[in-house]
Every structure is written in C-alpha cells, then in structure tokens.
Amino acid sequence: MAGSLFMEPRATASTPAGQTALRDVARATNLRRLTPLAAGAALGVANSATNALGSAYGPFTATPGQGVRWLEYVSSWLGTPWAWALFAFGVGWFIRHLGASALLATGGLVLAVLAYYVTDAALGLNEALSIPEIQLWSAISVIIGPTMAVLGALARRPRLWALLPALAAPALMVYFGLTRPSGNAQIMPWAQLAVLCGAGLLALTFTVRAIRLHRARTA
C-alpha cells in the first residue's frame, strides 16, 4: 500500500488533464465522422468538374474535338460504378465499425450525388437540377453504401477470412472494367488497362496482408 503513495494520479474526467483528453477524443471522433461526408461531396464535385473541364465538346472546351487528356482519364475513372462503390468500401475500411460505416458511407454517397448534380448545374452542363436522377441515384446509394461499407469494415479485420470481403473491391473493378469501360476511343484502352492493373495490385495487397496477419497470429 505504501508504494501507492508515490503513484502518479490518473487523469479522469474530474481533472483538467482528463477533461482535455476527453475533448481531444471527442474532437478526433467528430473529425473521423465528418471526413467521409466531406470526401463524398468532393467525389461528386470532382466527377462533375472533370467531365466539364476535360470534355472535348463541353462548355469549357478551348478547341472543339480536343479535350484535356489527363482530365479525360480522371473523368473516365470517377464516373464508373466501381469508383463510387470503392468509396463506400473505403469508408468501411477507414471507420471499421459496421453500423457507423454503413451510415457514413450512405451519407457520403448521397452527398456525392447531390454535389455532382449541383456542380453540373453550376457549370452549365444542365439547365436545372435533375430531381428524378438525384432520387434514383440516392436510392441506389442507400443500397450500395451499407453493403460496400460493411465489406470494407470486415476486410479490415485481422483474420484470414477477411480476405474474402476484401477481394470484393478489386472484383468490382475487374467486372466493370471489362463490361462497362468508360472514356472515348482515344483513352479507353489505356484507361481500361489501368483499372485492371489497379485491381490486380489491390488484390495482391489484400492477399499479402491477410497472409502476413495469419502467420503472425499462428506464430
């Protein structure tokens, strides 16, 4: 008991140090929750802006028939279903908690949809907001968001079985890369190849991670 007299007092909510620690934790938690929502809005704006600024026949085209090549590549990737699905997957991987991941991924995708069509209208690509399309893609987000977020959160688990949900991400890239390649004829072959290579690299990364974690647990 005597030794306890020399122990440093623990920081609790009733001490200044404890209150500061609690505020820091709350601030970090709020930032962690806001990040997927901000990223979703950024995704929608970036998708719309690259469409407008990189298009060979858009309102900002300097020379008709000649687009901005690198923006055309980015636009072809951001506008694909796999990119938006991987956003939700990434939210799940980042947040880890199943319920919070599902909610934040859905919210992020809905914000991405809104940001996309608002930016389209602001840049003059559409005369007005397309409410039916917003409703349609928001409804799809409510389905895709939680599904991919849960897969992302499960993929983060330090278990060998986590490789199965992890491979859903590169599988989507391969599927849409082969069945629904995007982009014009000039960039499509290379844009498609980049997607397939990216999917292979992602699958390899997840596989190596799962094997290393499994060996560490069984060592």
Q: DSSP readout, 26-64?
A: HHHHHHHHHHHHHHHHHHHHHHHHHHHHH-TTSTT-SBT
Report the C-alpha gap between 107 and 115 in whole angstroms: 12
Q: With beta carbons less than 8 A apart as the criterion, state whether 80 and 183 touch.
A: no
Report the C-alpha gap between 208 and 189 in whole angstroms: 29
- For tokens 């290579």, name the residue: 197
**Tens-digit pLDDT profile for residues 106-142:** 999 999 999 999 999 998 888 788 899 999 999 999 9
**Tens-digit pLDDT profile for residues 32-69:** 789 999 999 999 999 999 988 887 666 666 666 667 88
Chain mean position to CA 97: 16
- For tokens 């397939």, name the residue: 196
Report the C-alpha gap between 49 and 120 in whole angstroms: 8
Q: With beta carbons less than 8 A apart as the criterion, state whether 149 and 92 touch.
A: yes
**Tens-digit pLDDT profile for residues 165-211:** 999 999 999 999 999 877 677 788 899 999 999 999 999 999 999 99
List residues bridging with 66 in a β-sheet.
63
